[in-house]
């Protein structure tokens, strides 16, 4: 009886996670429609939830082909946008990550952090780079460590979120109920991320609400995120296991959000990078900064070993193998 109850609880949790992902996708469909006409750009964290959703049947996920096909060429609009933003990021000192500033070009240009605001974001998807968000008040400094072992770091997929305050003082969020953090967009395309609680281990944050706000006479939005258990559902044939949303920044750095949709069958591997075999390019969006989506599909052990041996890094459309 206890086993039946455990299986029932797990199924209910998975159903709730799927329902939450669908609700987030529907909410963002309306959010992006109005945000495209507003001055502030949509944060990549929000953009992914619209086009990826996080459910088992995400919107705009391309179906996997039954044969190998060449990846389509980038649209002319995307190439034009890339050319317009051909300013390289400043060269970092030897052994140090590139440091960008959300506002201005130095520490003095940054606003002072509000309580529990994210002061830095460390991107670890590829070569590490840091985006400074705000200055900690007083003489306190935002942690410059790339690792999470400083007592001031929350992990969000392939990013480390640095806080001025010690994270041990944060309460633990309840699944689906508590707002773990909010993202406020500003007219200058800066964002302010304020943390309320930390997600349980192994959980992911998903969008639950969007609220309009005005700042300096311009319309913006406040996006609220809650915690959901990571999906443990098995991937079906021709179903993507992971979604990637890639924004090409003006500094010629890739800002990438990943979203795991389902678990591959035993012995199969889900691509972890959008340039790995088994990844199919999706839609392209060339607004202020070009954004492209990618879908990754499960690879059989043989294909995974062959890919690792060849060292292939170009995007391909190998498709699923189960």
Lowest-pLDDT range of 42-46, 140-144, 196-200, 269-273: 42-46
Q: Are 117 and 132 in contact (CB under 8 A)?
A: no
φ, ψ at 286 (rounded to 5°): -115, 80
Residues 96-125 have a mean pLDDT of: 94
The three-state secondary structure class of 235 is coil
User: What does the pLDDT read at residue 24?
Assistant: 47
Per-residue pLDDT tens over the stretch 42-96: 777 776 555 544 433 333 333 443 333 333 333 343 333 334 334 455 555 556 8
Kindly tell me if the per-residue pLDDT of 312 is higher than 60: no
Cα atoms found within 13 Å of the Cα of residue 97, Cβ hemisphere only: 21
Residue identified by tokens 């678990």 is 263
pTM: 0.71
Please spell the DSSP secondary structure of 82-143, one letter per residue: HHHT--PPPPPPTT--EEEESSSSSGGGSPBPPTTBEEEEEE-SSS-EEEE--BPSTT----
User: What does the pLDDT read at residue 179?
Assistant: 97
Report in angstroms the alpha-carbon separations of 165 from 5, 178, 227: 40, 20, 21
**What are the structural domain ranges in the chain?**
9-310
Q: Are 155 and 148 in contact (CB under 8 A)?
A: yes
Per-residue pLDDT tens over the stretch 222-268: 999 999 998 889 999 899 999 999 998 877 789 999 999 999 999 89
Residue 36 — pLDDT band, cuts 50, 70, 90?
Answer: very low
Report in angstroms the alpha-carbon separations of 318 from 52, 53, 239, 309: 20, 23, 13, 16
Residue 200 — pLDDT band, cuts 50, 70, 90?
Answer: very high
């Amino acid at each position: 009886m206890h086993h039946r109850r455990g299986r029932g609880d797990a199924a209910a949790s998975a159903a709730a996670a799927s329902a939450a992902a669908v609700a987030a996708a529907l909410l963002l469909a309306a959010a992006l429609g109005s945000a495209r006409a507003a001055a502030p750009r949509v944060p990549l964290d929000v953009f992914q939830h619209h086009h990826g959703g996080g459910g088992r049947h995400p919107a705009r996920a391309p179906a996997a082909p039954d044969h190998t096909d060449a990846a389509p060429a980038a649209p002319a609009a995307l190439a034009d946008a890339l050319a317009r933003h051909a300013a390289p990021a400043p060269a970092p000192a030897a052994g140090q990550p590139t440091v960008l500033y959300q506002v201005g070009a130095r520490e003095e240009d940054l606003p002072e952090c509000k309580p529990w605001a994210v002061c830095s974001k460390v991107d670890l998807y590829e070569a590490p780079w840091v985006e400074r968000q705000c200055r900690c008040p007083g003489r306190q400094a935002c942690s410059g460590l790339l690792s999470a072992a400083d007592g001031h770091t929350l992990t969000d997929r392939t990013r480390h979120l640095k806080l001025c305050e010690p994270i041990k003082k944060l309460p633990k969020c309840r699944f689906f109920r508590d707002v773990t953090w909010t993202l406020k967009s500003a007219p200058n395309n800066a964002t302010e991320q304020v943390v309320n609680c930390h997600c349980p281990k192994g959980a992911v944050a998903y969008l639950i609400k969007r609220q309009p706000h005005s700042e300096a006479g311009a319309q913006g939005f406040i996006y609220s995120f809650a915690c959901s258990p990571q999906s443990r559902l098995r991937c079906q044939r021709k179903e993507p296991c992971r979604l990637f949303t890639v924004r090409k920044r003006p500094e010629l750095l890739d800002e990438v959000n990943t979203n795991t949709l389902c678990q591959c069958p035993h012995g199969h591997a889900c691509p972890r990078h959008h340039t790995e075999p088994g990844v199919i390019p999706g839609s392209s969006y060339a607004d202020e900064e070009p954004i492209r989506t990618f879908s990754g599909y499960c690879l059989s052990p043989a294909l995974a070993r062959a890919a690792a041996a060849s060292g292939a890094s170009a995007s391909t459309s190998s498709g699923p193998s189960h």
